[in-house]
């Protein structure tokens, strides 16, 4: 398998070299130092500097997720702007430090940006993850007339928060807006479970069957991403 991968990599590099009329001496490096030569060629001739920096940053984030936050903190110290503070809050949200994310999202909502849709949407997610359901509802009511709110994850969390505080009818109304074909698979699974728990088996079954049918048309990548969701859908359908 390794041998065929190297051959394929060499073939791609030579094709790229021919197509872009790069210097012929690369052929010798690619053929006589297969793996090393291909890596050097890709790094210097295929990937742009911007691509390389992006890949490096992504790798660093995976290895040391707090580094990104520290860099964002330094940016905010250098220039305390609305965007820098929101970027830092997003960084905290990304590493699931919801408390710090909330602090910076709230701080960014000053007089000039107190109705900023994006920040309020992010606050809804952060409040929900910290079980502050009343604040989720308060935030959602500030933006629930906005076009971008309809069928969004913020509306989904709003619905879940309403259920948590005992407003089941209102919760169902909001959650049903997320039932959109070929999207929101995880959210629709949760919606089906919500309906099942509230004795609405027929509607729950309909949503589960829709997800099952849609999964047959997923790309391989999406099947991998949503494999646990699809397995859970299959399990629930088999229990009926």
The reply to whether 101 falls in a domain is no
CA 84 to chain centre: 20
pLDDT score of 5: 67
Give the Cα-Cα-Cα angle 230, 232, 235 (nearest 5 degrees). 110
The reply to whether 21 falls in a domain is yes
Q: How confident is the model over 46-69, as pLDDT tens digits?
A: 665 455 555 555 555 555 567 788
The reply to whether 33 falls in a domain is yes
User: Are the C-beta atoms of 58 and 90 separated by less than 8 Å?
Assistant: no
Q: Identify the domain containing residue 144 by its residue range.
A: 129-178
pLDDT score of 21: 66
User: Are the C-beta atoms of 41 and 64 separated by less than 8 Å?
Assistant: no
The reply to whether 73 falls in a domain is no
Q: For residues 172 and 206, state if they share a domain.
A: no
Domain total in the chain? 3
The reply to whether 94 falls in a domain is no
The reply to whether 151 falls in a domain is yes
Q: Find, among 198, 189, 185, the residue nearest to 226 by Cα.
A: 185
Q: How confident is the model over 150-192, as pLDDT tens digits?
A: 889 999 999 999 999 999 999 999 999 999 888 899 999 999 9
> Residue 196: enclosing H or E segment and its boundaries?
helix 185-197
Q: For residues 203 and 227, state if they share a domain.
A: yes
Q: For residues 168 and 195, state if they share a domain.
A: no
Q: What is the DSSP track for 203-217?
A: HHHHHHHHHHHHHTT
């Amino acid at each position: 398998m390794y041998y065929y991968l190297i051959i394929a990599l060499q073939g791609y590099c030579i094709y790229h070299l021919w197509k872009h009329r790069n210097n012929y001496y690369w052929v010798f490096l690619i053929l006589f130092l297969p793996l090393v030569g291909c890596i050097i060629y890709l790094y210097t001739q295929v990937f742009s500097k911007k691509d390389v920096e992006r890949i490096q940053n992504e790798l660093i984030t995976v290895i040391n997720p707090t580094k990104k936050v520290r860099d964002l903190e330094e940016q905010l110290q250098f220039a305390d702007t609305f965007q820098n503070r929101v970027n830092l809050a997003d960084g905290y949200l990304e590493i699931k430090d919801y408390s710090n994310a909330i602090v910076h999202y709230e701080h960014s909502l000053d007089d000039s940006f107190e109705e900023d849709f994006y920040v309020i949407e992010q606050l809804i997610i952060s409040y929900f993850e910290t079980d502050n359901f009343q604040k989720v509802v308060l935030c959602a009511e500030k933006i629930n007339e906005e076009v971008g709110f309809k069928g969004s994850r913020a509306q989904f969390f709003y619905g879940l928060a309403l259920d948590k505080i005992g407003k089941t009818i209102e919760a169902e109304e909001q959650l049903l807006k997320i039932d959109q074909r070929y999207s929101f698979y995880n959210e629709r699974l949760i919606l089906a479970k919500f309906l099942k728990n509230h004795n609405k088996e027929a509607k729950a079954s309909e949503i589960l069957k829709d997800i099952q049918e849609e999964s047959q048309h997923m790309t391989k990548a999406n099947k991998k991403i949503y494999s646990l969701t699809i397995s859970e859908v299959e399990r629930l359908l088999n229990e009926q």
